């Protein structure tokens, strides 16, 4: 069947993801092949000290993104879209969207970016004996209660951004387990919210006299492959302003961007992981067992099919590299020999491979903003060297790439070295891996783990969400089909990629760099007072 007929017959799959700066739609066929895309740029707003997106921005952005997809389909295939085999929505995880019994938003959407819940996160982490990061939904709810915010008594439901969009389009108050794991801790044995911790939360808030218990206001947790409702007539009109989209299309469990990233890199199996490196950086490893104790540096979330994942999230990655490349760019222009920016990045990154394994003693801190993993609530980018250190261009560039990974390594070492977590392969995606082999080989050294970069890695979360929609459809005819098997055999079979093993000399060099990096952290703290 040709693509045009496939689209007309509604045998394609749609994934739409709300990222921090872009809403993107991807239409795929049953093998994961990208047929069309659409996007909409947006930015969060600072409203009375709260980072937020208005609901008008959510719906206007979604409609524009979907219209852009339709335009791409029309241009490529000269046909309209009236139906899909399945649709899935995903979004940035965590945050706080609270509604009353009339389904009205009680306070502006509080995104993951807000760091206003320290007190609540600390109390809940201690009470649950489970790390509750500031950005988690339950931390936002409990902080609002501690703040005696009037809206708390009126809450009838709270959810994430993906859960909210799904609810409005289907009427179903549900959430995929991966996104749900960033709201409240999941019991891996049941695949549902942890009942013991729900009871503890209700005990903590019992004196408030609220008319609700926590379970009453949480969404229902679903797993990848589960039915999650269908598009209502009102939902179809809300998504497609042209009015051509039919009601009744199945929707799959809404997911978070961590889960779609794992899907997009085929990193949902035990002892696999992925590292996403751009403006910020995070790595996730699918665990074989629970960690022995609580680490504030390690978040525990799940894959879309409910496996336990250890996650280290760092606020800073490539911004300082970009700043230094801009200096070189300015110099080239000043002397009258401007260089293409991509060529400049590629040249400087490749130069880093010539550097010493320990960067010749050079150290830098890439903290444009705070870095909670290493204990910083604010940042000041800093470069430090001693007179006897080997100050060469190759060491300088290698140092900056090391620095972009250092905070991540600080957290991952707790899993790998303290907990003995095993990871057979990490899958890399994001800007740090754009230059072939450079970021990949250095990341392998940082984590002492093989790192692979797949051809599909650039498709990202929206593609991963579309794949989860296709998985739901495949599972209808083969109910026992597991997500890992589905990805291996139907989506990634024959997918070309590159795998690099860590070089022992580079691993030892990165460890020496880290020893000096950790000793120098007090200097970074002092820089904040300058």
Domain ranges of the chain: 94-159+184-218, 319-407+504-527
* pLDDT tens, per residue, the chain with 530 residues: 699 999 999 999 999 999 988 999 999 999 999 999 999 999 999 999 999 999 999 999 999 999 999 999 999 999 999 999 999 999 999 999 999 999 999 999 999 888 899 999 999 999 999 999 999 999 999 999 999 999 999 999 999 999 999 999 999 999 999 999 999 999 999 999 999 999 999 999 999 999 999 999 999 999 999 999 999 999 999 999 999 999 999 999 999 999 998 999 899 999 999 998 888 898 999 999 999 999 999 999 999 999 999 999 998 999 999 999 999 999 999 999 999 999 999 999 999 999 999 999 999 999 988 898 998 888 899 999 999 999 999 999 999 999 999 999 999 999 999 999 999 999 998 888 889 899 999 999 999 999 998 876 666 889 999 999 999 999 999 999 999 999 999 999 877 678 999 999 999 999 999 999 999 999 999 999 88
- Report the 10 Å Cβ neighbour count for 266: 24
Q: Are 157 and 219 in contact (CB under 8 A)?
A: yes
Hey, is 91 helix, strand or coil? strand
SS3 state of residue 430: coil
Task: Please give the pLDDT value at position 1.
Answer: 64
Q: Contact, 264 vs 430, CB < 8 A?
A: no
pTM for the full predicted model: 0.89
Does residue 114 sit in helix, strand or coil?
coil
- The DSSP element (H or E) to which 408 belongs, if any, is helix 393-413
DSSP state, 88?
E
13-18 and 86-91 beta bridge pairing? parallel
**CB neighbours (10 Å) of residue 483?**
23
User: 420 in helix, strand or coil?
Assistant: coil
Q: Which of 237, 218, 127 is nearest to 179 (CA)?
A: 218
Nearest alpha carbon to residue 454 among 482, 478, 474, 425: 425
Q: Which CATH architecture has domain 94-159+184-218?
A: 2-Layer Sandwich (3.30)
Helix (H, G, I), strand (E, B) or coil at 312: strand
């Amino acid at each position: 069947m040709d693509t045009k007929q496939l689209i007309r017959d509604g045998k394609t799959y749609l994934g739409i993801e709300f990222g921090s700066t872009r809403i993107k739609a991807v239409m795929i066929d049953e093998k994961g092949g990208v047929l069309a895309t659409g996007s909409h740029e947006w930015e969060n707003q600072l409203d009375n000290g709260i980072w937020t997106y208005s609901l008008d921005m959510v719906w206007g952005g979604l409609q524009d993104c979907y219209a852009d997809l339709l335009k791409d389909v029309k241009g490529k295939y000269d046909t309209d879209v009236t139906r899909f085999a399945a649709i899935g929505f995903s979004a940035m995880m965590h945050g706080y969207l609270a509604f009353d019994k009339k389904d009205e938003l009680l306070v502006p959407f509080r995104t993951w970016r807000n760091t206003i819940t320290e007190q609540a996160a600390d109390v809940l982490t201690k009470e649950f004996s489970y790390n509750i990061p500031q950005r988690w939904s339950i931390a936002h709810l409990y902080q609002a209660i501690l703040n005696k915010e009037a809206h708390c008594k009126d809450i009838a439901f709270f959810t994430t951004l993906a859960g909210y969009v799904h609810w409005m389009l289907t009427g179903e108050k549900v959430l995929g387990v991966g996104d749900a794991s960033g709201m409240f801790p999941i019991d891996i044995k049941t695949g549902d919210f942890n009942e013991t911790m729900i009871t503890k939360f209700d005990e903590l808030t019992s004196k408030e006299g609220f008319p609700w218990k926590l379970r009453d206001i949480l969404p229902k947790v679903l797993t990848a492959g589960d039915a999650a409702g269908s598009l209502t007539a009102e939902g179809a009109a809300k998504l497609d302003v042209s009015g051509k989209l039919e009601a009744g299309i199945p929707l799959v469990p809404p997911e978070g961007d961590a889960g779609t990233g794992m899907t997009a890199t085929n990193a949902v199996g035990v002892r696999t992981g992925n590292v996403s490196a751009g403006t910020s950086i995070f790595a996730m490893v699918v665990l074989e067992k629970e960690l022995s104790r609580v680490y504030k540096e390690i978040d525990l979330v799940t894959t879309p099919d409910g496996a336990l994942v250890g996650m280290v999230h760092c606020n800073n990655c490539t911004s300082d590299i970009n700043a230094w490349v801009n200096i070189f760019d300015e110099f080239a222009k000043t002397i009258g020999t401007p260089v293409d920016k991509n060529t400049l990045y590629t040249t400087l990154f490749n130069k880093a491979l010539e550097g010493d394994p320990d960067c010749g003693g050079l150290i830098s801190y890439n903290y444009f903003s705070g870095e909670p993993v290493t204990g910083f609530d604010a940042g000041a980018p800093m470069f430090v060297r001693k007179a006897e250190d080997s100050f060469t261009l190759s060491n300088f560039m290698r140092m900056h790439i090391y620095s972009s990974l250092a905070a991540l390594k600080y957290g991952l070492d707790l899993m790998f070295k303290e907990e003995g977590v095993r990871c057979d392969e990490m899958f890399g995606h994001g800007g740090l891996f754009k230059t072939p082999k450079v970021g990949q080989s250095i990341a392998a050294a940082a984590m002492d783990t093989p790192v692979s970069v797949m051809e599909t890695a650039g498709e990202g979360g929206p593609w991963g969400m579309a794949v989860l929609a296709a998985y739901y459809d495949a599972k209808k005819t083969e109910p026992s089909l597991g997500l890992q098997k589905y990805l291996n055999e139907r989506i990634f079979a024959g997918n070309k990629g590159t795998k690099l093993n860590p070089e022992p000399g580079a691993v030892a060099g990165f460890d020496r760099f880290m020893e000096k990096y950790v000793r120098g952290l007090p200097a970074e703290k002092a820089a904040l007072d300058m």
